[in-house]
A and B are shown apart, each in its own frame.
Chain A
Amino acid sequence: MDKFGMNNQTDHNFSKYVGTGNPDTTKHEWMNNQLRDTYAYLIANDSLTTYIALAEGESISRVRFNCLEKMIFPCGPSPDKNPEE
């Protein structure tokens, strides 16, 4: 009934919970969020950073830094939204 107010709340939730999807979410946006979430999990979990550090032969801090760096730009540039056809 209060269609206007409801939308307002949805918008608020979208801005509050980064990564919430909607019908217009593109594959690229979804991938970005997916990868950022994964990297954030790896950074926080000491066992997994140790695990990766062992495999790569790196120190744990560097593994963490590399993951943080990857969060910035996880899967390449976004596709052009208005491709010239």
Chain B
Amino acid sequence: MHLYNVELQSSTAIQNAIVGHFSGKKEQELVLGRNDRLELWKLDPKTGKLSALHSENLLGKIRAICPFRLTGGSKDYIILTADSGAITILEYLPDKNIFSITQQEYFGRSGFRRLIPGQYLTSDPRGRAVMIGASEKQKFVYILNRDSEANLTISSPLEAHKNHTICFDCVGVDVGYENPTFASLEFSYAELDRDPTAEALLTTEKNLVYYELDLGLNHVVRQWSSPVDVRSNKLIMVPGGDDGPSGVLVCSEGFITYKAPGQKESGFLFCAAESGNHQLYQFENLGDETLTPEYSSDDFPNEGEYEISKENIAQFQPHNLSCLSPVTEIESLTPTVTSMVLNLANEESPQIYSMCGQGAQSSLKVIRHGLEVTEMAVSDLPGNANSIWTIKKNITEEFDSYIIISFLDATLVLQIGEEVEEVMDSGFLNNSPTLCVQLLADGALLQVTPLALRHVFSDGRVNEWKPPANREIVAACSNTRQVVVALNRGEIILFELDTNMGVLSEWSDRFSVECDIVCLGLPSVKEGRLRSSILAIGCSDQTARIISVEPKTCFDNLSTQALSDMPESICLSELNEDTHGSQSPELNGLFLFVGLRNGLMQRTSLDNTSFEMTDTRTRFLGTKPVKLFPVIVQKRQCVLALSTRPWLNFLYQGQNRLVPMSYDMLEFGAPFASEQCPEGIVSIADNTLRIITIDRIDTLINQASIPLSYTPRGMILNNESKHFVTIESDHGYKSTTKWASELVENEIVADLTEANNAVLPPQQFGYTRGDYKSWVSCIRVLNPFTGDVAQLLELDDNEAAFSIASIEFHSNINVNYVVVGTAVQVTLKPRSCKNAFLRVYEWNEKGDNLTLLHKTAVDHVPQALAQFQGRLAAGIGSSLILYDLGKKQLLRKAHLTGLPNMISRLVVVPISESYDALMNDDGTSISKQSNRIVIADVQESIHYCIYSAYSQQFVIVCDDVISRYITSVCCLDRDTIAVSDKFGTFTVLRLPEDLLLQLRRQSTVSGHSNAQQLLTAIANKRSSSIINKKRTGASKEAPYKFSMIAQYYIGGGDVITHMQSLSWQHFDESFQGLNTFIKAENKPVIVYTTLLGQIGAMIPLTHLQTDVEFFTNLEVQLRAEQFNAKKYIYGLGDEHLFYRSKILPVKNVIDGSFCEKFAIIDSSDPVGFQLKKKISEGLDRTSEEIIKKLEDTRAMSIF
């Protein structure tokens, strides 16, 4: 089995954020470090909007970033440290829109090590040196300078090590232009390690240490040190030189100290949140005029003498934000605790329901594939419209003046102003449908109706051209200088604007074809040109043709394309990408788009001079004929394609992207610009006029959010009522109701209403802290369509919910119960609890309310629950127990004890071997009951277990040789299991061949006792493993060991929290019907979500020759060139093969994000061109073929 890993949504967590002028211009930009990705975001100071300019996977875990500007320079460099043991200096090149590696210096081994620097990174504020530190002992200082050609140079490292010292923080001190100095917060454990009495723990002090880099002598000295509070944890630089007193602020628990050896402005604040969405705030004022009490540090005793008592506490009342106002939000899925891929809303592709966030910031996010659309306005129309345009009144206008809507027998002209209203004096004919409108280059307006071509001058005069008798105009298109009309029976007439005369003059020849012309397309006239040189026509004989309209070669056929169905619309468009205002023409290209009646869209690139068609891509968009409209989104020329759902085709980072929009079905569209909405789309859907905008095109998914109260722990779905049941619990907090009642009890406030007012809103301030045994928890019934909470069951007395399952007991068929595993006063270290319960809830008839049936006491925290054999299988501590439903409590039926540590997951193995059988069955319930269950241990990987109903025994037949810290399990078929572990490795395991043989034999024997005997024989076989591992628990080692089929490091240490195997049944049926060729050969795709908010997919590669060999070779070729191409595929210093094998060696999985780097290589750059050529020659294919293969693999299997 070979898998191809693709990134659907890169990690949404932001670990590092820096601000600076990275493109060397005046604007401030943000550089965000997102696990293994580096992103550049631009801030628009007028609107406060953030937009992503560039994002790149750097094939390494980014640990720390800092901006760096050489003295006197105007451009900031990006310095970053990674887990590769190298320090990398990057420069952002705005014209190419890439990060280019300027310097890369190796200083140590790779990985997250105690002694290898990389944890701390700080620069001298004046841009002369950087310090890079480890959590223990080692620190390096690099001197940065520029050479004669103004290139950045880096010195060899200068050591500032100190043995037996833990470093807590590190910051550059602003000392003006004196020798660069760095401050670090250190604690030495040298004495502690030797002291048996541990008295040194009380006497050793935490120190603030200054390291001075002597630029003259070129070495680093420990210049000064001063003891600080033992709980100090952070340093903040104080501006020095001419701007301030220099020195640092030391943050400790409860107070801040200013340490040193003997500004007003308006701006923005970017807040990268640990959980929940990231925020951009604007400073409203600097808090000069607030009523907050002020405290002066002079009134307080010095540290050491400091004892926290009621008198010397600085008290203040927290209030809502008054100095900051939120401006923009970047959505984040971090941390994703668990998720489900379902198609509840019956859309064309399934949605991902993810439980994200922590504490009061928790939410259930509904994630869809598609661009996020903002609806600006909706208004009703009098009838069925059949087209729409927007037009400016004259050339000098900045915004559109009219919206023109054509109906079956009339045309409606709406004027855009303060309000949109109908006008009659626009000069357009109202009592006839319209085929085309245009503002011509001389300032006159053009309207084409089926019986006339009307040239409307600004003074109101109208020039009309009428087609010959009995002929009718069937299609028309225009640009600012040319008009083309097609008459019925295949005749084309060309008009060109004569600016001197101010008239449209007809071209002497007419062009005719043997069939009807369905649609026409003219590209816009380039600046400084008189005309466009080509015309595209779509004919009823299922062809699309490119025809010259240059005077010398007028109506010559330049190229023809055969189509699979009748064309519906055609569009010639020059897609472009606005990168930092500088237009690089290499990225632009002329494309021919053809929308067909059968719902396919073809995109073909055209040669700029010969107009030959190359590189055709076909995509199925929906079941309705595809209509195409050129629009402008995010300053890019894009093409809007409308079928049963709207799609947008645009260029992004040099690549063509075709992405659905998350919006209703649209029938017609046109670009729209007004003062309120400078970049919108006006469209028609179901007799309504809608104005929409697209704010972000950098991410292909969008999310809706439903708030939750506490950290989510699990969820289940009620299949009938489509309601979710979620369990949420938080450790170490008090609920708001409990806190309010405590305030009353302690007589701080008079009554409960006052107490409720005094409690701060948890969404902003979080919950009140409790002790280590306190828990808050709730069970919630949620309607995912409306976001309404149908029922909320708060658990009190520090009881918390840990696991949930929906069970249909074999004794009560067709009745669904919800079982929730809870525990009271759980302590995490060591793991213990006062009581633990299995609570059984019953649904009401509507399926939106739960009632408690009974609760059963158990010994340990129930961490995993599952339906198995029509009973409840519960993982309680290290035992697996099977329960039946009783009248007053659950009844124990069978058990398996002595698993190594703790059962973390239980997954029932699907019984059917073929996928078809699975698909007939909704994928949720399996008709025949499976007797196999996979038990995942929290540390010791998975155990394959068979249950014998005859003897009511569990038998472990297979386990793993590597102790994996399992975080999620997914059964791919009866014998194959995908698992992920806490250190970021994804693995596929399969039962060994000899065991499969034994099991097949066992399943065919007749009679229970014979089968039982054979099973016992399997279980008693002596372990074949050479390592005779001693188990911590009572169970002995299993006789067989899993064979490992595929393995892969997800990247950046990210943890997969949920995996789901997704077969085609999740997609809409109509969609499936047309894609039978895809369905037939597609094995299910594994979709996963990670803790840091990444969404990815593993696509099985089925064809050995075309797929597996191709991708393996491409990966090999790219790896060979990795370090020869500094700009494109270099990464942070780890070899790619090494990076993907960080914890365990990679096997049979191809890294899609690495392969896709091939498409980013810029062929206009000589280095890039050579690189592309070399790789494609090595593969014996053209680079277009390779890119097409990469895009298709993604599009066919997932998105």
Contacts and interface: CB of A to CB of B under 8 A. Distances in A.
Nearest to B164: A18
A40 B192 contact: no
A58 B767 CA distance: 12
A67 to B, nearest CB: 9
A14 to B, nearest CB: 11
A57 B137 contact: no
Nearest to A42: B112
Contacts of A46: 13, 15, 35, 1052-1053, 1092
A19 B136 CA distance: 12
B334 interface: yes
Given A44-B118, A72-B187, A77-B196, A50 B13 contact: yes
B335 A50 contact: yes
A2 B47 CA distance: 73
B701 to A, nearest CB: 21
Which of A44, A65, A77, A80: most chain B CB closer than 10 A?
Answer: A44
B1136 interface: no
Which of B63, B137, B196, B711: most chain A CB closer than 10 A?
Answer: B196
A51 B193 contact: no
A59 B732 CA distance: 12
Contacts of A19: 114-115
Contacts of B198: 73, 76-77
Which of B63, B115, B118, B1092: most chain A CB closer than 10 A?
Answer: B115
A43 B119 contact: yes
Contacts of A68: 135, 166, 168, 233
Summarize A's interface: helix, strand, loop or mixed: helix
Interface string A62-82: 000100100111001111110
Interface string B1150-1181: 00000000000000000000000000000000
A44 B274 contact: no
Contacts of B193: 29, 32, 78
A59 B119 contact: no
A10 B83 CA distance: 27
Interface in B217-242: 233
Which of B201, B274, B1092: most chain A CB closer than 10 A?
Answer: B274
A25 interface: no
B1100 interface: no
Contacts of B982: 48, 51
Interface in A4-54: 15, 17-19, 29, 32, 36-37, 39-41, 43-48, 50-51, 53-54
A46 B64 CA distance: 11
B196 A80 contact: yes
B189 A44 contact: no
Interface residues of B, number: 51
Interface string B172-196: 0000000000000001010011111
Summarize B's interface: helix, strand, loop or mixed: loop
Contact of A48 (B15, B134, B168, B1053): B1053
A85 interface: no
Interface in B343-383: 358-359
Nearest to B1092: A47
A64 to B, nearest CB: 9
A9 B366 CA distance: 60
Contact of A77 (B118, B195, B274): B195
B274 A56 contact: no
Contacts of B359: 57
B828 A56 contact: yes
A1 interface: no
A42 B1092 CA distance: 15
Nearest to A78: B196
A80 B197 CA distance: 8
B1091 interface: yes
A18 B163 contact: yes
A47 B1053 contact: yes
A47 B1091 contact: yes
Contacts of B135: 39-40, 43-44, 68, 71
B1092 A72 contact: no
Which of B13, B135, B198, B711: most chain A CB closer than 10 A?
Answer: B135
B136 A40 contact: yes
A51 B114 contact: no
Contact of A18 (B114, B274, B711): B114
Nearest to B111: A41
Contacts of A77: 192, 195-198
Contact of B828 (A36, A39, A48, A55): A55
Contacts of B1090: 47
A56 to B, nearest CB: 6
B668 interface: no
Nearest to A67: B135
Contacts of B334: 50
Contacts of A61: 233
B732 A58 contact: yes
Contacts of A59: 274
Interface string B1038-1055: 000000000000001111
B113 interface: yes
Given A44-B83, A57-B731, A72-B166, A51 B119 contact: no
Given A44-B83, A73-B189, A78-B194, A50 B113 contact: no
A41 B83 CA distance: 11
Which of A29, A39, A47: most chain B CB closer than 10 A?
Answer: A47
A47 B192 CA distance: 31
Contacts of B358: 53-54, 57
Which of A55, A72, A80: most chain B CB closer than 10 A?
Answer: A72
A73 B732 CA distance: 24
B669 interface: no
B8 to A, nearest CB: 18
B625 interface: no
Contacts of A17: 115
B1085 interface: no
Nearest to A32: B193
A44 B111 CA distance: 9
B433 interface: no
B337 interface: yes
Interface in B1090-1149: 1090-1092
A43 to B, nearest CB: 6
Contact of A37 (B113, B119, B137, B984): B113
9 contacts: A18-B136, A19-B114, A32-B193, A36-B114, A40-B119, A46-B1092, A48-B1055, A50-B334, A50-B1091
Interface of A: 15, 17-19, 29, 32, 36-37, 39-41, 43-48, 50-51, 53-61, 65, 68, 71-73, 76-81
Top 8 A-B residue pairs of the complex, sorted by shortest distance between their CB atoms: A40-B114, A44-B112, A57-B731, A77-B198, A80-B196, A57-B732, A45-B1053, A47-B1055
Given A18-B163, A46-B1053, A47-B1090, 16 more contacts: A36-B114, A43-B112, A43-B135, A46-B15, A50-B274, A50-B335, A51-B1091, A55-B828, A56-B732, A57-B359, A57-B733, A71-B166, A72-B189, A73-B198, A77-B195, A78-B193
